[in-house]
């Protein structure tokens, strides 16, 4: 009979390198799997000439209030534009993210291992590390996701932004990103750990548990942070706007003022559905892939240690 691993103890048994490796693989899988939906979300949130740019692959769609009706007239190929930036940044960023989370969770948690506040604080610390590294890649990604983006490669996009807008372009949205991501990840990590313990109290490796707990955590966290994501998108795509007011947006509060002035409260929930549809399966994929590789690496190391003891 195969040996059962106590899943609750994996965080302390696995090394920092193992957590980082599992996190990198999980991050790449998560972002790539749902990238087209994320592109649609970005195009829905962008404001152009005073109206939301709800456009897919150059096809005209409605910009009137209410659910958009997409008219797909071209191949979905353009929805993948900019994915290389995510692949390049998500690996190291998620490696740092999950390694930091496991380290902080172990340091902050109580002996019974069920401290929800510790999970939330560890998630916040992991987010600070992740977003600082990932933000420039996210800016490049969203510039390339735009319907009329002139960029064909991430190098071309990065060089153009640096030349025309300076280094500020890569970090103007960082405060807003952190204001969104810290509560997002705190809610996600705490919710995930809660549902994981509720669905799997014995702490054994169970893929179904990680998929369900991850999906629920992603849906809840993305729902409550959508307004901040709309502001972040406005800041990160400002340089591509034809609207002078948006091109000269100065920061978080100015972005809130623009959105509220033009669309009211409803404006902060543009792209809500595709955001949840992105994060729910993304979180399920991320957590299940992460937990699998963490379990796999730990099991392999344990087997190697036992084989050495027999020699």
State both tokens at 295. 């379990």
Which residues in the chain show pLDDT less than 50? 1-12, 53-75
One DSSP character per residue, 44-66 reads HH-EETTEE---BTTB----SSS
Which residues are bridge partners to 6 per DSSP? 204
Residue 268 is predicted with a pLDDT of 94
- How much is the pLDDT for 240? 82
The three-point CA angle 257-259-260 to 5° equals 65
- Residue 234 C-beta-side C-alpha neighbours within 13 Å: 34
pLDDT tens by residue, 185-195 = 888 988 998 99
| Bridge partner residues of 47 (DSSP) | 52
In 3D space, the residue among 49, 22, 39 whose CA is nearest the CA of residue 77 turns out to be 39
Q: Do 82 and 141 touch, CB atoms closer than 8 A?
A: yes
Tell me the C-alpha distance between 101 and 118, whole Å. Answer: 10
The DSSP call for residue 81 is: T
Any residues with CB less than 8 A from the CB of 64 and at least 6 apart, and which?
none
For 129, residues 6+ apart whose C-beta sits below 8 A from its C-beta are: 96, 97, 100
Q: Determine the 3-state secondary structure of 166 from DSSP.
A: coil
Q: What is the C-alpha to C-alpha distance for residues 78 and 149, in angstroms, rounded to an integer? A: 10
The correct answer on CATH 3.40.50.300 for the domain covering 16-309 is no
Query: What are the residues whose beta carbons fall under 8 Å from the beta carbon of 31, sequence distance 6 or more?
Result: 38, 83, 86, 87, 90, 282
Q: Structural domain boundaries of the chain?
A: 16-309
Residue 144: predicted pLDDT: 94
CA distance 297 to 210: 17
| pLDDT given for residue 49 in this prediction | 55
């Amino acid at each position: 009979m195969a040996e059962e691993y106590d899943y609750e103890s994996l965080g302390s048994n696995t090394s920092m390198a193992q957590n980082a490796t599992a996190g990198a693989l999980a991050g790449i899988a998560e972002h790539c799997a749902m990238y087209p939906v994320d592109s649609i979300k970005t195009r829905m949130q962008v404001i152009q000439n005073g109206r939301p740019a709800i456009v897919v692959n150059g096809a005209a769609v409605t910009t009137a209030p209410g659910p958009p009706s997409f008219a797909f007239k071209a191949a979905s190929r353009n929805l993948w534009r900019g994915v290389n930036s995510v692949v390049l940044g998500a690996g190291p960023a998620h490696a740092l993210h999950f390694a930091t989370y496991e380290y902080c969770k172990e340091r902050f948690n109580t002996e019974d291992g069920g401290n929800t506040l510790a999970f939330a604080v560890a998630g916040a610390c992991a987010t600070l590390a992740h977003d600082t590294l990932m933000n420039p890649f996210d800016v490049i990604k969203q510039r390339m996701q735009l319907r009329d983006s002139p960029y064909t490669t991430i190098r071309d996009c990065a060089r153009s932004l640096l030349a025309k807008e300076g280094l500020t372009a890569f970090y103007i949205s960082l405060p807003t990103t952190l204001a969104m991501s810290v509560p997002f990840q705190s809610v996600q990590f705490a919710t995930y750990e809660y549902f994981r313990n509720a669905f799997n109290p014995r702490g054994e490796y169970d893929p179904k548990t990680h998929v369900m707990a991850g999906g629920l955590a992603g849906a809840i966290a993305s729902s409550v942070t959508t307004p901040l994501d709309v502001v972040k998108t406005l800041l990160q795509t400002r340089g591509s706007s034809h609207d002078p007011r948006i091109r000269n947006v100065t920061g978080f509060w100015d972005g809130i003022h623009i959105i509220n002035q033009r669309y009211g409260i409803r404006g902060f929930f543009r792209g809500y559905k595709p955001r949840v549809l992105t994060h729910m399966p993304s979180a399920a994929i991320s957590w299940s892939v992460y937990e699998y590789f963490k379990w796999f690496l730990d099991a392999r190391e344990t087997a190697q240690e036992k084989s050495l003891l027999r020699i």
